[in-house]
Amino acid sequence: MSKKFFGTDGIRGPVGQYPITPDVFLKLGWAIGQVFAKEGKGVVLLGKDTRISGYMFESALEAGLSAAGVDTRLLGPMPTPGVAYLTRTLRAKAGIVLSASHNPYYDNGIKFFSTEGTKLPDDLEHQIEHYLEQPMTTVDSIELGKARRLNDAAGRYIEFCKASIESGVDFKGLRIVVDCANGATYHIAPHVFTEVGAEVVTIAAAPDGININEKCGATEPEKLKAAVIEYRADLGIALDGDGDRLIMVDHKGEIVDGDELIFIIAKARLAASALKGPVIGTLMTNLGMEHALKKLGVDLIRANVGDRYVMELMKKHHSEIGGEGSGHIICLDKTTTGDGIVAALQVLAEVKKSGKSLYELKSEMNKYPQVLLNVRIENKIDIEKNEVIQEAVKLAEKTLADKGRVLLRASGTEPLIRVMVEGVDKIVVSTQANLLVDAVKKAI
């Protein structure tokens, strides 16, 4: 059964446009409360990133939860994986994150975690949507939910991140630049990396409500690249607005993307005889990663794009390492969801243990040239049934033959058609990608 509100990763959109409005979030808080109140007493945790609308939606959700008789613990600015961790360790009924992840400040959204610290299953999302269609009621005053602030939330999560690596690993001598995207990790990531011994230069850690992800962070790492060169750092770490995405930069100022980072972590686990199951990627995962893993005797299994689908296959195949080239990296042997800080620590640990630079570690995987272009759309379009687009796809596939891949898909979080072409020859790849973009524009 399709869902009206929930996408691949919660609910997201422009602030002030339905359903990202205070009245809907009030009702949403009440609906969440109705679902979890049925399971008995317990609290719901509520965190947010640093965008200005978070205050407004936090109040609306808190009021709705209270009306349903559910107690709330307010975490303040907290990375998405931090909310997942606290939901699990505090045995809360659910965790809620107010965030639009890597989107600009004028967007916002909501994500949910179960008491196990994982994304909500479909049946609970269906239940929440059911109550959104019902008239809102309020419990008797004596049963109203109470809201309290959890003052040590950041400290708890900092300690958890540090515990994700062996205590004997010493990061002294490493100079790193950390880009917090003016987001939810601004008061956490610098402490984590400093407390494990690294020399830390921090950038984009002064949120003002509207500068989240603005020309910084995992989606725009140009400032990080420049800072790594300027400070002669060993590497750079870029997180996104809610801290669940990671991109790194080596000492030469070159990007190290999610595929390369997953390969580094997987190879390190394999060398330590600690790699369980296959590595899970997505339809967008670079062919170079698949071939590099194959040489090590490790299988790559591709999921649909989205960390929810990666997680589903990780559980199915008993895998502990998976993620996306965009930087969502899941280390299930360490945590329950994608976590940028935890993933970065695993890479840093391998840099120290191996004695190799990040540049050397990433060079052990040969990436195929890949072009990813976006076409903005006003209305939904069925890619599979559009003759103009399908003819263009067939022509591109014929041109690439067995030396590349073509993938067109609709974004699950933005009004975009994503066009990906990958192959051995960079010029051919770029040409075919532009031809496909032209075909999509013609079709719409």
Tell me what pLDDT residue 307 has: 86
Count CB atoms within 10 A of the CB of residue 40. 7
> Does any domain span residue 162?
no
Percent of the chain past pLDDT 90, that is, above it, reads 86
- How confident is the model over 117-160, as pLDDT tens digits? 998 888 888 899 999 999 999 999 999 999 999 999 999 999 99
Same domain, residue pair 90 and 204 = no
Tell me what pLDDT residue 2 has: 62
Same domain, residue pair 132 and 25 = yes
Instruction: Tell me how far apart the alpha carbons of residues 196 and 425 are, in angstroms, rounded to a whole number.
Output: 42
Same domain, residue pair 339 and 435 = no
> Does any domain span residue 163?
no
Say which amino acid occupies 97.
Answer: V
Same domain, residue pair 141 and 216 = no
> Does any domain span residue 158?
no
pLDDT at 1 over 60: no
- How confident is the model over 369-419, as pLDDT tens digits? 999 999 999 888 889 889 999 999 999 999 998 788 999 988 876 789 999
Q: Which one of 367, 388, 412 terminates a domain? A: 367
What are the DSSP E strand ranges found in 223-297?
235-239, 246-250, 255-256, 279-282
Tell me what pLDDT residue 411 has: 82
Q: Which one of 203, 234, 256 terminates a domain? A: 256
Percent of the chain past pLDDT 70, that is, above it, reads 99
> Does any domain span residue 436?
yes
Among 53, 66, 99, 101, the one annotated catalytic: 101
Q: Is the peptide bond before 19 cis (omega within 30 degrees of 0)?
A: yes
- How confident is the model over 159-180, as pLDDT tens digits? 999 999 998 898 999 999 999 9
What φ, ψ does residue 53 adopt, rounded to 5°?
-75, -10
- How confident is the model over 297-309, as pLDDT tens digits? 999 999 998 888 9
The DSSP code sequence of 321-364 is EEE-TTS-EEETTT-SS--HHHHHHHHHHHHHHH---HHHHHTT
Say which amino acid occupies 309.
Answer: Y
Question: Domain limits at 383?
Answer: 370-443
Same domain, residue pair 19 and 132 = yes
Burial profile 199-226: b = 16 or more Cβ within 10 angstroms, e = fewer: bbbbbbbebeeebbbeebbbbbbebbbe
pLDDT at 39 over 80: no
> Does any domain span residue 271?
yes
Same domain, residue pair 16 and 143 = yes
Instruction: Tell me how far apart the alpha carbons of residues 216 and 227 are, in angstroms, rounded to a whole number.
Output: 11
Instruction: Tell me how far apart the alpha carbons of residues 32 and 43 are, in angstroms, rounded to a whole number.
Output: 12
Does the annotation mark 101 as catalytic? yes
Same domain, residue pair 327 and 358 = yes
Same domain, residue pair 308 and 178 = no
pLDDT at 56 over 80: yes
CATH of the domain at 282: 3.40.120.10
Tell me what pLDDT residue 8 has: 65
Same domain, residue pair 205 and 330 = no
> Does any domain span residue 307?
yes
Q: Which one of 367, 383, 405 terminates a domain? A: 367
The DSSP code sequence of 117-166 is SSBPPHHHHHHHHHHHTSPP----GGG---EEE-TTHHHHHHHHHHTTS-
Same domain, residue pair 128 and 197 = no
40's CB contacts (< 8 A; 6+ apart) are none
- How confident is the model over 87-110, as pLDDT tens digits? 999 999 999 999 999 999 999 999
Looking at the 3D structure of the chain, how many domains does it have? 4
Tell me what pLDDT residue 381 has: 83
Same domain, residue pair 97 and 16 = yes
Instruction: Tell me how far apart the alpha carbons of residues 324 and 77 are, in angstroms, rounded to a whole number.
Output: 25
> Does any domain span residue 1?
no
Measured between alpha carbons, how far is residue 32 from residues 1, 131, 191, 396 in Å? 19, 8, 34, 46
Instruction: Tell me how far apart the alpha carbons of residues 256 and 236 are, in angstroms, rounded to a whole number.
Output: 10
- How confident is the model over 406-442, as pLDDT tens digits? 999 888 767 899 999 999 899 999 999 999 999 999 9
Q: Which two three-digit tokens encode residue 83?
A: 């909310």
Nearest CA to 244 among 97, 76, 438?
A: 97
Same domain, residue pair 118 and 61 = yes
pLDDT at 7 over 80: no
Q: Which two three-digit tokens encode residue 197?
A: 């011994």
> Does any domain span residue 5?
no
C-alpha neighbours within 13 Å on the C-beta side of residue 57: 33
- How confident is the model over 309-360, as pLDDT tens digits? 999 999 999 999 999 999 999 999 999 999 999 999 999 999 999 999 999 9
